[in-house]
Amino acid sequence: MELAEAMDAFAVLKQLDDAWQKRDCAAVERLTTWAESTLGGRACKATRNGRPAPARKRYTKPEFFLPDAADQDRWFVALARKPDPAYFLFVNEGDNWRVGAGPIPVRGESREPIEGAVPTDDPSTGVKARLAPQRYLAYLTDPAGVSGVSFPKGDAVRELSDDLFRRPEKVRPDRLTADVRLVVGPQRALLLPDGGALVIHALEIEYRQKARPGRSSLSHPIYGRGDLRGFTGKAKPAALTGTEVVLVATEITGGTKMSTIALRRGLAALTAD
């Protein structure tokens, strides 16, 4: 694809921002796909019921990284520099460009990709890129560290893991359980210098919270009143199920090390009893 096409596709962001501001959920659905669409479906409808619409920044100064892939999955990654660095994944569906993920705010510094996507059949970098989401899943479901997957100190996914395993203690006497799963989709990974890769992927975390026996409502709901009213219409549920989507940009070195360079977490769905 050409740079001019990517620049035109980036303009979809303004359309999406306007759709969110107007609470035009049909437009939000039309302008998003993959992981980003899960953050726009029921979450958009909840804004019509009093939940605040997400505060969206007007991103500018983009740099475009074009995969030059030969298959039918047409996509590219943009790194907007202003007002704060954030990654975006754009995907072409039905001859229309849509936001597949983004903004994913950058945390720290990252290396710029070189031209080209990571080949899915590459025996080295391709395999590491393909396994990156699975390694995140292993890390977030293995508090004892048996899997051997690790991340550097201060990595954003370590903060996510800490929150995941500490939340049940914070909401006692309520009972809280969680499941983590991958958001499936084609591999979207760009080559980095020295045999590394920049991988865009996503996970879902489903929380299930129940009041202790003998109580008719939760003592410490993990979501606030605005979310509860917007999604469920209830202020004091006895139980709830919330699904959060975590968008991730991962940097893989030429070796086996991984680091989370960008992450965004949002509530996609919430039901209550």
Rounded to an integer, what distance in angstroms lies between the CA atom of residue 188 and that of residue 73? 9
Q: Tell me what pLDDT residue 239 has.
A: 95
Dihedral (Cα; 79, 105, 203, 32), 10-degree rounding:
-60
> Is residue 256 over pLDDT 80?
no
pLDDT, tens digit, 9 for 90 and up, residues 225-247: 999 999 999 889 999 999 999 99
Q: Tokens 């508090």 belong to which residue?
A: 143
**Residue 1 CB partners (closer than 8 Å, separation 6+):** 66, 68, 74, 76
Chain segment 49-76, per-residue pLDDT in tens: 888 888 888 999 999 999 876 567 889 9
pLDDT greater than 90 at residue 12: yes
Q: What is the pLDDT of residue 69?
A: 62
Average pLDDT of 74-89?
94
Q: Which pLDDT value is given to residue 14?
A: 95
Which range has the worst mean pLDDT, 91-100, 108-117, 244-253, 263-272? 108-117
Give the residues across from 270 on adjacent strands: 242
Give the whole-angstrom CA distance, residue 160 versus residue 39. 18
Q: Which amino acid is at 132?
A: A
Q: What are phi and psi of 133, to 5 degrees?
A: -60, -40
Q: Which long-range contacts (CB under 8 A, 24 or more apart) does 16-19 make?
A: 16/56, 16/99, 17/56, 17/58
Sign of the dihedral defined by the CA atoms of residues 232, 237, 243, 248, in that order:
positive
pLDDT at residue 259, as a whole number: 93
Q: Which residue has the higher pLDDT, 194 or 161?
A: 161
Q: Mean of the pLDDT values across residues 74-79? A: 94
Chain centroid to CA 160: 12
Q: Is 199 strand, coil or helix? A: strand
The three-point CA angle 82-4-251 to 5° equals 50
Give the H or E element holding residue 59: none
Q: Smallest Cα–Cα separation from 191: which of 272, 116, 84?
A: 116
pLDDT digits (tens, 9 = 90+) for 26-43: 999 999 999 999 998 889
Token reading at 204: 């879902």
Contacts of 128 (CB under 8 A, 6+ apart): 197, 252, 256
Percent of the chain past pLDDT 70, that is, above it, reads 99
- Helices and strands per DSSP (H, E), number in the chain: 8, 9
The proportion of the chain whose per-residue pLDDT surpasses 90, expressed as a percent, equals 63
Token pair for residue 234? 């209830």
Residue linked to tokens 């409808």: 45
Distance between CA atoms of residues 114 and 7, nearest Å: 18
pLDDT at res. 158 = 92
- What are the structure tokens assigned to 116, written together? 């080209």
How many C-beta atoms lie closer than 10 Å to residue 52's C-beta? 10
